[in-house]
Amino acid sequence: MKNLSDRVQELVETGEIQRLGIPYYERQDFIVYYLKGWIEEYKRADSWIKEVEKILNNPNCLTAFGKGLYELQLEDEQRKKATAKRHLVWLGKRYDKVTKGRIFYQPQTKGYQDLEAIKQKVSCAELAAEYLPLQKRGRNYVAICPFHKEKSPSFTVYPNGFKCFGCGWNGDVFKFVMDMDKCDFKEALKKLNV
């Protein structure tokens, strides 16, 4: 199996990464590729450490020379595990920064949902009209806010979100469903993604 850095170097040399116009560490697929590799490395080092510690805890089966070799192996594997952990932390932060909430991973469905696609598919105005009586005002809609008392409508619905100028309640289609139906994000995602 190729080393992860060798694979990325190969893609840089072939020009595939430059053609995409963004650095490889800003691409979600490369981050996922690296994450998988470093997770495997972390697990491998961790299992080696456990095996070596088992052997070192049984002093009767080793000579002084053998014990010294296993101690060196243990130090090396602990260093590799620490390196893998450091890379996993960095890649996790990079993944959060790159995706910016666009990807919602669902292990039970073996995939992810593109939140931006759902937001574009579901019109905030049509969704709000199911809950509130809306009045058209220009290209937006207004209504009486359901979360505070008011006489004139200050709740404005935009094509991609909403805002109440009276109480400050705002957000996107997910926030709207979560607050109106008093449910969590996963339930709101299920309601919107039908």
* 3-class state of residue 158 by DSSP: strand
Co-location of 48 and 132 in the same domain: no
pLDDT computed for residue 60 by the predictor: 77
C-alpha closest to that of 124 among 105, 146, 114, 139: 139
Co-location of 16 and 90 in the same domain: yes
The upper half-sphere exposure of residue 148, i.e. CA atoms within 13 Å in the direction of its Cβ, equals: 12
pTM comes to: 0.43
* Domain annotation covers residue 37: yes
Co-location of 130 and 91 in the same domain: no
* Domain annotation covers residue 111: no
Co-location of 52 and 84 in the same domain: yes
Q: What is the 3-state secondary structure (H, E, C) of 83-123?
A: HHHHHHHHHHHHHHHHHCCCEEEEHHHCEEEEHHHHHHHCC
pLDDT computed for residue 142 by the predictor: 92
Co-location of 15 and 78 in the same domain: yes
pLDDT computed for residue 141 by the predictor: 92
* Domain annotation covers residue 88: yes
Cα distance between residue 90 and residue 176, in whole Å: 33
Co-location of 93 and 135 in the same domain: no
Co-location of 96 and 11 in the same domain: yes
Co-location of 26 and 96 in the same domain: yes
pLDDT computed for residue 22 by the predictor: 46
Give the structural domain span for 164. 122-192
* Domain annotation covers residue 117: no
Contact 77, 52 (CB under 8 A): yes
* 3-class state of residue 142 by DSSP: strand
pLDDT in tens, the chain (194 residues): 455 556 555 655 665 544 444 455 556 666 777 778 888 888 888 888 888 888 888 877 778 778 888 888 889 888 988 888 888 777 777 766 665 544 444 434 444 456 777 777 888 888 888 888 999 988 899 999 888 888 888 899 988 788 888 888 888 888 888 888 888 888 888 888 75
The pair of structure tokens assigned to 18 is: 């430059």
* 3-class state of residue 1 by DSSP: coil
Cα distance between residue 176 and residue 32, in whole Å: 31
Provide the CATH number for the domain around residue 173: 3.90.580.10
Co-location of 126 and 94 in the same domain: no
pLDDT computed for residue 2 by the predictor: 53
Cα distance between residue 38 and residue 32, in whole Å: 10
pLDDT computed for residue 187 by the predictor: 84
